[in-house]
Amino acid sequence: MFTDMLNFIKEVDKLKIIERRTYVSDGSRRENSGEHSWHVCVMAMTLFEVYERREKTDLFTSIQMLLLHDIVEIDAGDTYAFDVSGYEDKREREVRAAERIFGLLPEGTRNKYRSLWEEFEEGETNEALYASIVDHIQPLLLNVSTEGKSWLEHKIHAHQVLNRNQWIKDISPRIYSQISEWVGIGIEKGWLMED
Amino acid sequence: MFTDMLNFIKEVDKLKIIERRTYVSDGSRRENSGEHSWHVCVMAMTLFEVYERREKTDLFTSIQMLLLHDIVEIDAGDTYAFDVSGYEDKREREVRAAERIFGLLPEGTRNKYRSLWEEFEEGETNEALYASIVDHIQPLLLNVSTEGKSWLEHKIHAHQVLNRNQWIKDISPRIYSQISEWVGIGIEKGWLMED
């Protein structure tokens, strides 16, 4: 059992070499999915106090989801938020990855991790919603911190960012108003294209 | 309050550019402290089931410590485990860093994070002990995965690794026996120097 756990821990180390489209805050290089996973966890911990649904949400469950949420990218790669064709077979690629990677674990942990990942993907429980909100806004913070570096590279329009995050409005007006502010800055500075 | 939190989250992004001595598992580059922090959290989650003191330990507290434990390195740098002179003023450098970085936060969160960090540093509670065990063994796993790359670079002796981890023996015989096994492999393969 211990050996299987250690094999899994060694295997997931590969998440550190999966590159995302966003840049780290000094703009020197692209962010990888391992450090991204850490950053969203710190973000989830820190913003929880201002989150409107905090009393109905178990923060530890959200954090466990965030620790695991990108592990499937080791096989499936990172699918860019605005990549339409990449989303076509995303689910299929990721399910295969989940089976292989969580499959390295002893049964109890395998089932637990698989179900945390599925819950995150379904995005219905309060815990999954909060984890997903944080995962959605972290790249916005990095874009604003790097003068829109990734937005500019991919010629992203303001409406794309707003559409992608629209669902957050009803769940957390406070966080959504921050998103609107970032998009406003993006437009003003010319980092996001206007329609 | 929200703005202060976001400033903190942006500031801690810098942990992603703090380089450690260990290498990621494919040996292609050194690990940074951001991705390391994620990896130890996944490790803590995964090994908890085999940890002898699990019933007395609150895993979420250990994970929160691990998410925050290296943030002081943004100002203080990473002090290598076997760097004797680096340890002389480590505490002083890190306390200054904790004051500045956690000082960016609103008071409630600042006090909470500072106290989680102090508890980790003191290493007395069950939660701090477990977090520290995981933080100690993760570089061993990476060394064994990279044919002792970092051990060889720094000409580390087997007794240095054993001495540094000796305290784990009484707390978790199961984890300590894994440490002994890794050291045995390190000696056998010539990755660790014998005395």
Q: Is A3 on the interface with B (CB under 8 A)?
A: no
CB contact under 8 A, A6 and B108: no
Structure tokens at B93: 């450098």
Q: Is B17 on the interface with A (CB under 8 A)?
A: yes
C-alpha closest to that of B63 among A9, A61, A128, A123: A61
Selected residues 136-155 of chain A with any CB under 8 Å from a CB in chain B = 141-142, 145
Q: pLDDT at position A82, please? A: 86
What's the distance, CA A195 to chain centroid? 26
β partners of residue A157: A193
**Which DSSP state fits A155?**
T
**Which DSSP state fits A160?**
H
Q: Is A122 on the interface with B (CB under 8 A)?
A: no
Q: Least CB-CB distance to A47: which of B5, B15, B174? A: B5
Selected residues 69-88 of chain A with any CB under 8 Å from a CB in chain B = none
Which residues of A fall within a CB distance of 8 Å from B59? 60
Q: Is B194 on the interface with A (CB under 8 A)?
A: no
From the candidates B4, B5, B16, B144, which should be mutated to test the interface with A, based on the most A CB atoms within 10 A?
B16
Q: pLDDT at position B84, please? A: 82
Q: In angstroms, rounded to a whole number, what is the distance separating the alpha carbons of residues B84 and B86? A: 5
Q: Least CB-CB distance to B41: which of A67, A108, A141? A: A67
Query: What percentage of residues in chain A have a pLDDT greater than 90?
Result: 92
pLDDT 10s digits, A140-166: 999 999 999 999 999 999 999 999 999
Q: Least CB-CB distance to A67: which of B8, B42, B50? A: B42
Q: In angstroms, rounded to a whole number, what is the distance separating the alpha carbons of residues B51 and B172? A: 7
Residue B5 is which amino acid? Answer: M
Structure tokens at A170: 């009803």
**Which DSSP state fits A53?**
T
C-alpha closest to that of B23 among B129, B111, B153, B115: B153
CB contact under 8 A, A9 and B39: yes
- CATH architecture assigned to A2-189: Orthogonal Bundle (1.10)
Q: In angstroms, rounded to a whole number, what is the distance separating the alpha carbons of residues B161 and B185? A: 12
| Pairs from A159-162 (Cβ < 8 Å, separation ≥ 24) | A159/A195, A160/A82, A161/A186, A161/A192
A45 and A59 in contact (C-beta within 8 Å)? yes
**B21 CA: distance to closest CA in chain A (Å):** 15
The owner of tokens 């100002």 is B75
Q: pLDDT at position B155, please? A: 96
How much is the average pLDDT of B183-195? 95
Q: Is A52 on the interface with B (CB under 8 A)?
A: no
B59 and B44 in contact (C-beta within 8 Å)? yes
From the number of C-beta atoms within 10 Å of its C-beta (0-12, 13-18, 19+), residue A153 rates as exposed
**B42 CA: distance to closest CA in chain A (Å):** 6
Q: Is B1 on the interface with A (CB under 8 A)?
A: yes
pLDDT reading at B185 higher than 80: yes
pLDDT 10s digits, A125-139: 999 999 999 999 999
Q: pLDDT at position B1, please? A: 81
Q: In angstroms, rounded to a whole number, what is the distance separating the alpha carbons of residues A161 and A158? A: 5
Q: pLDDT at position A80, please? A: 86
Q: Is A40 on the interface with B (CB under 8 A)?
A: no
Residue-by-residue DSSP string for chain B: -HHHHHHHHHHHGGGGG-EEEEE-TTSSSEEEHHHHHHHHHHHHHHHGGG-TTGGG--HHHHHHHHHHTTTTHHHH-PPPTT-HHHHHTHHHHHHHHHHHHHTTS-HHHHHHHHHHHHHHHHT-SHHHHHHHHHHHHHHHHHHHHTTTHHHHHTT-BHHHHHHHHTTHHHH-HHHHHHHHHHHHHHHHTTSSB--
Q: In angstroms, rounded to a whole number, what is the distance separating the alpha carbons of residues A155 and A145? A: 17
Instruction: Round the average pLDDT of chain A to a whole number and report it.
Output: 96
Q: Least CB-CB distance to B46: which of A32, A59, A109? A: A109
CB contact under 8 A, A26 and B17: yes
Q: Is B38 on the interface with A (CB under 8 A)?
A: yes
From the candidates A35, A74, A146, A174, which should be mutated to test the interface with B, based on the most B CB atoms within 10 A?
A35
**ipTM of predicted assembly, 2 dp:** 0.97
The DSSP H or E segment spanning A21 is strand A19-23
pLDDT 10s digits, A61-112: 999 999 999 999 999 998 888 888 878 888 999 999 999 999 999 999 999 9
B49 and B105 in contact (C-beta within 8 Å)? no
Residue B50 is which amino acid? Answer: V
Q: pLDDT at position B86, please? A: 78
B30 and B147 in contact (C-beta within 8 Å)? no
Residue A30 is which amino acid? Answer: R
Distances in Å between the alpha carbon of B64 and those of A66, A67, B18, B67, B93?
13, 12, 20, 5, 22
Confidence of residue B102 (pLDDT cuts 50, 70, 90): very high
pLDDT 10s digits, B112-140: 999 999 999 999 999 999 999 999 999 99
Q: pLDDT at position B88, please? A: 82
CB contact under 8 A, B50 and A2: yes
**B65 CA: distance to closest CA in chain A (Å):** 11
pLDDT reading at B3 higher than 90: yes
pLDDT reading at A195 higher than 80: no
How much is the average pLDDT of A37-64? 98
> Domain-by-domain residue ranges, chain A?
2-189
pLDDT 10s digits, B7-62: 999 999 999 999 999 999 999 999 999 999 999 999 999 999 999 999 999 999 99
